[in-house]
Structure 1
Amino acid sequence: MCGEPTRFGRADCFCCATLASQLGTRLVPVIATFDYVVGDRQHRLLRGYKDGPQPLRGVRASALARRLGDWLTSGGGDALFGGWDVVTTVPSSRRGGAPAEAIASRVPELHDRLERLLVRGPDSTDHLRAARRGFLLSAHGSSGRARGARILLFDDSITTGARAQSAAYALGSAGHPVVGILAVGRARRAAP
């Protein structure tokens, strides 16, 4: 998930090992279109489409969608993770719905296959805190074209991966195979 060398010869970094232990399963592969450091220009763009002034949110979501669409057509697309049939987003743990839908719905490669399959569950997820019941299938997730389909899980940003991996666990345990997690951005530590 991390895309970085691990320490002490371990197969997984600390975050990945922690999440796999919490969920009791192997993690789903993750690809991010770019890395960011908290406070940099990329981070401000990602935060701005959710938390910026209302008139600019759509503009920023469209900018992120164009960037993601360009990334997908330049080498990702259907070949990513061996292909997928349905795209779903990770619901927000603090807001209603899934803010990442504002991006996915603007990307043709994702929009036509976008389905709302998940809702927040009874257990909380947080930074480095995954939960098997952090997300549940929505009423729509139990029927429709998602049944037996290969699922691409989409999120705007990944820090430790706890929420996205919890969402992947919920889908997988309900019989929806998740081929991978695609994030627009991935948080990195600033270089020392």
Structure 2
Amino acid sequence: MDGLKEAMLGLLYPPACIACGGATGEPHALCAACWSGIGFIARPYCERLGTPFPVDLGQPLLSPAAIADPPVFERARAVARYDGTASALVHRLKYSDRPELARAMGRMMAQAGAELLGEADIIVPVPLHRWRLWRRRFNQAMALASVVARTSGVPCDPFLLARVKRTRQQVGLTRAQRQENLQGAFLVPAGARARLKGRRVLLVDDVLTTGATANAAARALLRAGAAAVDVLAFARVVTEA
């Protein structure tokens, strides 16, 4: 019965590409053109920051940036570069009231972050401040984290981390300004510390830019007793050398 219902819905509402609206073979998917417009990140990349290397040197390596300024978190991974189709999907998820996009994006994240998920005890989405959540109506990181959790089987706990400081928008700020803006922004509630202690956390967000948000959130989690923090994002900004 369910199969017949889905078939009838498919006739009435043919599957469309989540990026451009063109025809696709299945719902919640990308057409071939939009798929080719995603700059997927795969090895070789920095084992700490997840930033791609231009050439494969045949062994796991750290980037100069990871050596010069090590992040608070242990490892970061992302599905794709923040450009083309990937940036369009993030923008629509965040600003165009399209939470259903999280289904396909989250599945891609679960695949890209399989190594991290294999070691994670708990998934924690980067939280929004309550006023920003009220304006936006949903937290895009939470939407993605829920899909990653369902796909991987790793539990998600959105109440392990709170955003207690109303920060400025990060867009347009320098690296130093981002760090200052996020000082004291995150807190692990006292009642959540027992659930966090000694656990390995996978922190989920939509975009990884300079790493300032991920560092601030990871610092709060580690201070509250987390054993380690890794980061998984759908897209990340990659600055060419």
Shift in Å at residue 80 of structure 1? Answer: 2.1
With a CA cutoff of 8 Å and minimum separation of 6, indicate the structure with the bigger relative contact order.
1
- Residue of structure 2 equivalent to 1:167: 217
**Contact 1:148–1:176 under 8 Å retained in 2:** yes
Gaps of 5+ in 1: none
Tell me, in whole angstroms, the C-alpha distance in 1 between the residues paired with 2:208 and 2:142: 15
Is 2:114 the counterpart of 1:49? no
Q: CA RMSD in A?
A: 3.1
- Secondary structure at the aligned position of 1:151 is classed as strand
Give a deviation string over 1:96-136, Cα, whole Å, max 9, x none.
27421111212324565101211113484745222452200
Shift in Å at residue 35 of structure 1? Answer: 1.1
The size of the alignment, in residue pairs, is 169
- Residue of structure 2 equivalent to 1:64: 105
- TM-score by length of structure 1 reads 0.72
Aligned in 2, Cα 1:112/1:80: closer, same or farther, shift over 3 Å? Answer: closer
Is 2:51 the counterpart of 1:3? yes
Gaps of 5+ in 2: 1-48, 54-62
- Residue of structure 2 equivalent to 1:148: 198
- Secondary structure at the aligned position of 1:3 is classed as coil
Identity %: 28
Aligned pair partner of 1:113 in 152, 155, 164: 155
Tell me, in whole angstroms, the C-alpha distance in 2 between the residues paired with 1:61 and 1:139: 30
Shift in Å at residue 36 of structure 1? Answer: 2.0
Give a deviation string over 1:31-64, Cα, whole Å, max 9, x none.
1121122xx2210101111111x3xx13311221
Aligned pair partner of 1:85 in 121, 129, 134: 121
- Residue of structure 1 equivalent to 2:74: 28
Aligned pair partner of 1:104 in 145, 151, 163: 145
Amino acid in structure 2 at the alignment position of 1:167:
A
**Contact 2:187–2:220 under 8 Å retained in 1:** yes
Tell me, in whole angstroms, the C-alpha distance in 2 between the residues paired with 1:104 and 1:111: 11
- TM-score by length of structure 2 reads 0.59
